[in-house]
Structure 1
Amino acid sequence: MVAQESQRLHIVFFPLMAAGHMIPILDMAKVFATHHVKATIVTTPYNAPTFTRPLESYKNIGPPIDVEVIPFDTKEAGFPEGVENFEQFTSDEMTLRFLKAIDVLQESLEKVIEKYKPNCLVADMLFPFATDVAAKFNIPRLVFHGTNYFSQCLMDSLIKYEPYKQVLSDEEEFVVPHFPHEIKFKPSQLHTSMRGLGDKQINDEWMNIFVRAKDAEERSFGFIINSFYELEPDYAEYYKKVMGRRAWHIGPVSLCNHGKEAKFQRGKDSSINEHECLEWLDAKKPRSVVYISFGSLAEVSTLQLQEIAMGLEASNQDFIWVVRRNNYGNGEKEKNEWLPQEFEKRMEGKGLIIWGWAPQVLILDHEAIGAFVTHCGWNSTLESVSCGVPMVTWPVFAEQFYNEKLVTEILKIGVGVGAKQCNRVVEGTVKREDIKEAIRKVMVGEEALEIRNRAKKMKELAIRAFEDGGSSYSNLQSLINELSSYNA
Structure 2
Amino acid sequence: MGDDQLHVVMFPFFAFGHVSPFIQLSNKLSSHGVRISFFTIPGFIPRIENLLIPSPTTQIIPLQLSPSLGLPPDIAGTFDLPPSEAIKLITAIDLTQPQVKSLLSDLKPDFVLFDFAQHWLPSLASELGIKAMLFIVFSAIACAYVVAPSRLAGVDGNPTVDDLRKPPQGFPMRFGYEHIAADHSNLIKTFQARTNLFHYESFNESPNNFFRVQEAFNSSTAIVIKTCFEMEGLYLDFLKSQIHKPFILTGPLVPAEPPSSVVLNDEDWTKWLAQFSAKSVVFCSFGSETFLTKEQISELALGLELTGIPFLFVLNFPAKVNAEAELKHALPVGFLERTKERGRVHIGWVPQQLILGHDSVGCYLCHAGFSSLIEGLVNDCQLVLLPIKSDQFFNSMLMCENGILKAGIEVNRRDQDGYFGKEDIFTAVKTIMVEVEKEPGKSIRLNQKKWHKFLREKDVQEKFISNMVAEMKKILVHNPLVD
Structure-to-structure mapping, 1:184-203, within 5 angstroms: 184-191=187-194, 194=197, 202=202
When structure 1 is superposed on structure 2, of 235-244 and 353-362 the one drifting more is 235-244
Instruction: Please say if residues 315 and 348 of structure 2, whose CA atoms lie closer than 8 Å, have aligned partners that are also in contact.
Output: yes
Structure 2 counterpart of 1:459, from 431, 452, 460: 452
Cα distance in 2 for partners of 1:454, 1:353 equals 30
Structure-to-structure mapping, 1:22-421, within 5 angstroms: 22-55=19-52, 58-59=53-54, 64-73=57-66, 75-83=67-75, 85-92=77-84, 94-155=85-146, 156=148, 159-161=151-153, 174=166, 177-183=169-175, 184-191=187-194, 194=197, 202=202, 208-259=208-259, 274-324=266-316, 326=318, 329=322, 331=324, 333-408=325-400, 409-419=403-413
The count of residues paired between Structure 1 and Structure 2 equals 460
CA displacement at 1:219 relative to structure 2:
0.8
SS in structure 2 at match of 1:253: coil
Cα distance in 2 for partners of 1:142, 1:173 equals 30
SS in structure 1 at match of 2:282: strand
SS in structure 2 at match of 1:141: strand
Change (3 A) 1:216 1:473: closer
SS in structure 2 at match of 1:22: helix
When structure 1 is superposed on structure 2, of 29-38 and 435-444 the one drifting more is 435-444
Instruction: State the Cα RMSD in Å.
Output: 3.3
Q: Could you say which structure has the higher helix fraction? A: 1
Cα distance in 2 for partners of 1:126, 1:201 equals 14
Cα distance in 2 for partners of 1:191, 1:393 equals 19
Are 2:430 and 1:440 aligned?
yes
Change (3 A) 1:308 1:460: same
Change (3 A) 1:456 1:276: farther
When structure 1 is superposed on structure 2, of 167-176 and 320-329 the one drifting more is 167-176
**Residue type of the alignment partner of 2:272:** W
Change (3 A) 1:361 1:81: same
SS in structure 2 at match of 1:190: helix
**Residue type of the alignment partner of 1:45:** P
Instruction: Please say if residues 255 and 463 of structure 1, whose CA atoms lie closer than 8 Å, have aligned partners that are also in contact.
Output: no
**Gapped regions of structure 1 (runs ≥ 5):** 265-272
Identity of aligned residues (%): 24
**Residue type of the alignment partner of 2:223:** F
Cα distance in 2 for partners of 1:292, 1:324 equals 12
CA displacement at 1:295 relative to structure 2:
1.8
TM-score by length of 2: 0.84
CA displacement at 1:429 relative to structure 2:
2.4
Change (3 A) 1:182 1:251: closer
CA displacement at 1:186 relative to structure 2:
2.7
Structure 1 counterpart of 2:420, from 409, 415, 430: 430
CA displacement at 1:330 relative to structure 2:
5.7
Instruction: Please say if residues 187 and 195 of structure 1, whose CA atoms lie closer than 8 Å, have aligned partners that are also in contact.
Output: no
Cα distance in 2 for partners of 1:28, 1:105 equals 23
CA displacement at 1:203 relative to structure 2:
8.0
Change (3 A) 1:17 1:334: same
Cα distance in 2 for partners of 1:107, 1:362 equals 41
TM-score by length of 1: 0.84
